[in-house]
Amino acid sequence: MILTIHGSIAIAIGLLLTVISLSGSALVFHQELDRAIHPSFMRVVPQAKLASLDEMIAPVQAAYPNFPLESIRFPQTPDGSYQITIKAQDGESLDTFVNPYTTKILGARKWDNSPIGFLYNFHYKLAIGQVGMVAVGITGLLFLLIVITGIILWSGWRKLKTGFTVRTTAPLPLLSYDIHQVGGILSSTFLLILAVTGAILSFLVLQSSFNQSPQLAKVLPPAKQPIALSELLRKADAAMPDGKTTYVVFDEHEPEKITVSKQLPHESIRFALSNVELNRYSGEVLTVNRVVEPPPMLKFMIAIGTIHFGLFGGIYSRILYVFIGLIPSVLLITGSVNWERRRWLKARRESTSQLRANQTESNRFS
């Protein structure tokens, strides 16, 4: 019964699970891969003088005069470019990359159309929106069942040595069986973690998207001019001097407000939660959100994300996760070989039994 559940679910979702895991394996180093794919966009030669933020935005607004600003991402190294995201006429986001020393536009791209953007969207929602997100979440839950039943079926429970033996000189079907069970049991802890955290993240993001209520954008008088961004950043730095600016976000629903995201010394760049909100037209500091201790739910989501993305052990855990992401592909191939072997053996036994029954019946009448 357990073997049937294990094999049937694995065959049913095996290909989908393999694609999800392979894309996840590639995304472990998605930032590094993105920079490697687009070096002309993201790498610059550092110079002595850094241009002001207003000087960097000016050529983007000149090139795309009717595209409102969405966000500005600050580089984390001196040789990085600024990413200024604007909203294109089709409603999609357009990332433009600017040299912070020369203010030259290095290039532009739509995230969803980029190789890493496609991988990212496919990994967590199969590139088909909320339906895909649900499918990924369900796949994670079914994968959890596959791993649990696989652990129960492990031959090492009967004899430990057998459970960790790979007969390298055995015929392919037996070799495949050994690789499947040894690889499965050695990676089972990590596969359980990825299955559980992946399913949780999918449903949390899905729930968040359902809870978002549509808002109407406010329209400001055309004569109203915002304060220079450089001045607003100085005010944000004064409000939170120990925070490193990572993003500036423009709210289309509240165009008079900008949010300056800050990374405090104790925060990771991936989970920087603190920010300063300002009025773009008066320069007034509206709120200072210093997040020293995240609320329980947010803390839980950060913990789940840290575990799922392999961030807990630095470069070493990320490298490990690359290989863990390859294992479902190996298990699918070896499992398919084992499944076919069992079907062949079952058919052979049934054929032999039928032949013997026919011979017995023939002998009775002879």
pLDDT digits 0-9 by tens, 178-215: 999 999 999 999 999 999 998 898 888 777 766 665 55
Q: What is the pLDDT of residues 143-173, one digit of tens each?
A: 999 999 999 999 899 989 888 999 988 888 8
Which residue would you say has higher pLDDT here, 316 or 204?
316
In whole angstroms, give the CA distance from residue 270 to residue 263.
9
Contact 136, 206 (CB under 8 A): no
Between β-strands 274-279 and 93-98, what pairing exists: parallel, antiparallel or unpaired? unpaired
More confident residue, 248 or 206: 248
Question: What pLDDT is recorded for position 68?
Answer: 92
For the chain, where are the E strands, in sequence order? Answer: 69-73, 82-87, 93-98, 105-109, 244-250, 257-263, 274-279, 285-289
What is the model's pLDDT at position 98? Answer: 97
pLDDT score of 237: 96
Mean pLDDT of the chain: 88
% residues pLDDT > 90 (the chain): 58
Average pLDDT over residues 66-95: 92
327: which 2 tokens? 């294992």
Angle in degrees, CA 139, 145, 146, rounded to 5? 85
Q: Quick one: CA dihedral 359, 361, 362, 366, positive or negative?
A: positive
At 63, list the tokens: 């090139």
Two tokens, residue 44: 């610059």
pLDDT at residue 127, rounded to an integer: 85
Q: Is the pLDDT of residue 104 over 90?
A: yes
Least confident residue range of 98-102, 117-121, 128-132, 226-230: 128-132
Measured at the CA of 162, the angle between CA 158 and CA 168, to 5 degrees, comes to 160
Distance CA 318, CA 305 (A): 13
| pLDDT of 331 higher than 90 | yes
| Mean pLDDT computed over 17-23 | 92
pLDDT digits 0-9 by tens, 249-292: 998 888 899 999 999 988 777 778 899 999 999 999 999 999 88
pLDDT band at 64 (very low <50, low <70, confident <90, very high): very high
Q: Is the dihedral of CA 64, 65, 67, 68 positive or negative?
A: positive
pTM over 0.85, yes/no: no
Instruction: Quote the tokens at residue 230.
Output: 């450089």
